[in-house]
Amino acid sequence: MKHTMPELSPVALNSIRSAAAIIRGSKNAVVLTGAGISTPSGIPDFRSTSSGLWQKYDPFEVASLSSFRYNPENFFKWMRPLATDIFAAHPNPAHVSLAEMEKLGYVKTIVTQNIDLLHRRAGSQNVLEVHGSFASLTCVRCYHQFASDCFIQPYLEEGKIPVCPDCQGLLKPDLVLFGEQLPVKIWLKAQQACKTCDLMIVAGSSLEVLPVAGLPMRALENGAHLILINHSETYLDVRADVLLHEDLDLVFPHILQALLDESIVSC
């Protein structure tokens, strides 16, 4: 039984049908997601000109590795409202649709710039979080890693800075801060996935942050198709097989429905 979905323009629906046809014809699709896929869940983005966090704060003062080292209290104070939004958020229809597309075999890997864990919570299994996530914290003194579950509520509710139970060192969330390297193993997996895919779907990323912004080029250099879904323009718009400047939480359910409809017809 079909669910009623919000209306999109005839041009957008035609692009969605084209996107679904390319996805059906692919064998190794990789999805690269940015902040735009999570804003419908109530998580603010960082770079939009109207409401991005970096319009209000200097990232090197509040979210750099050096600022964390010299003034961790300031970092945790700044991060607390964002962390509250993240842990209160729920996966939206775009996350859920991508998880279902993975179950159906249409998506092999999700590479995400987001730290909010929403892909995992939606049910996606093969997720590469290249900027880290709030899933764990690491002691800056003894380097032991801990799941964030036991520490996050006292921090969100009371502002209690997480401390290592073994050595009393500060626990840093396993997020990639400015001036910090990407997690090497995850980054190598992301590069390999993009080099070997036959389809790259970019969703909700302005493709402005290096080195992640270069991943779609690796796919294109190896002959992959490109589907690009984002509100703002990117440097790769001219290379896209399908380009949609629409809301992701509207587009992905329509793409999923088109894939399901074709599966039913094929049976």
Q: Which residues are catalytic?
A: 131
Tell me if the bond preceding 162 is cis, omega within 30° of 0.
Answer: no
At residue 177, the 3 state secondary structure works out as coil
Sequence-ordered list of residues with C-beta below 8 angstroms from that of 124, at least 6 positions apart, any chain: 95, 98, 99, 102, 107, 110
Sequence-ordered list of residues with C-beta below 8 angstroms from that of 225, at least 6 positions apart, any chain: 22, 26, 198, 199, 200, 241
Give the containing element (helix H, strand E) for 32: strand 29-33
Q: Are 107 and 252 in contact (CB under 8 A)?
A: no
Tell me the Ramachandran region of residue 145: left when phi exceeds 0, alpha when psi lies from -120 to 50, beta otherwise: beta
Written as six digits, the tokens of 104 are: 């159906």
